[in-house]
Amino acid sequence: MANTKKITEEELVRLLKNKDERVLNILYEKYSLSLFGVIHRVLNDQELSEERLQECFLKIWKNADKYDAKKGRLFTWMLTIARNLAIDTTRTKRFREQGKIQNLENSVSIIEKVNSVEMNTDEIGVRDLIKKLNTKYAQIIDVIYFQGYTQSEAAKELDLPLGTVKTRTRKALTLLKDYIM
């Protein structure tokens, strides 16, 4: 596992495009928890999230040809796949019947999420981090990264100038870097 960290993104993409069977293992080790975190953040359901994560990796594997490095990072491409699968699931009957629908127009703030008993993630870690992050920074990450809003959609949604959305996201990520890295 130690050597997976040394592999460059370019090498990873080349292996993926060549359908090298080793790449699925590397991708899983490197990205599965983050992608699962995104899916689970949206669905808040272990079983459904695991199903979507499996689907996500199969999609990555099957559609490797479609990944275009010119249009973004490999992680960004995978993040989009994971997010779309999760958000599509919130629109299914099964999900709505479970009463877990999240209204994206009033996206649930991560603060509410932290205070909710439903949160079964690394609670202490997240809670401590959220306390350090100002609500507005947690919210902007939520909207841009977890919910997949474009910057213009986020500006409209949060009723903020586009410039503010960008600088606030910048500040939020800088804080994250400081706290986590």
Q: Which residues bind another protein (CB under 8 A)?
A: 19, 21, 24-25, 28, 31-38, 40-41, 46, 50, 53-54, 57-58, 61-62, 69-73, 75-77, 79-80, 120-122, 125-126, 129, 141, 144-146, 148-151, 154, 165-170, 172-173, 176-177, 180-181
Q: Which is nearer to another protein, 38 or 95 (CB)?
A: 38
Q: Which is nearer to another protein, 57 or 95 (CB)?
A: 57
Smallest separation (angstroms) from another protein to the CB of 96: 22
Q: Which is nearer to another protein, 93 or 155 (CB)?
A: 155
Instruction: Identify which of 25, 12, 58, 52 has the alpha carbon closest to the alpha carbon of residue 36.
Output: 52
Smallest separation (angstroms) from another protein to the CB of 49: 8
Q: Which is nearer to another protein, 6 or 177 (CB)?
A: 177
Residue with tokens 């809003």: 149
Smallest separation (angstroms) from another protein to the CB of 164: 9
Residue 99, both tokens: 């009463």
Smallest separation (angstroms) from another protein to the CB of 174: 8
Q: Distance between alpha carbon 18 and the CA centroid of its chain, in Å?
A: 26
Residue 48, both tokens: 């459904």
Question: 101 and 120 in contact (C-beta within 8 Å)?
Answer: no
Question: 87 and 143 in contact (C-beta within 8 Å)?
Answer: no
Which backbone phi and psi does 122 adopt, to 5 degrees? Answer: -70, 75
Q: Which is nearer to another protein, 16 or 95 (CB)?
A: 16
Residue with tokens 């993926």: 16
Residue 17, both tokens: 């495009």
Residue 154, both tokens: 């986020």
Smallest separation (angstroms) from another protein to the CB of 82: 9
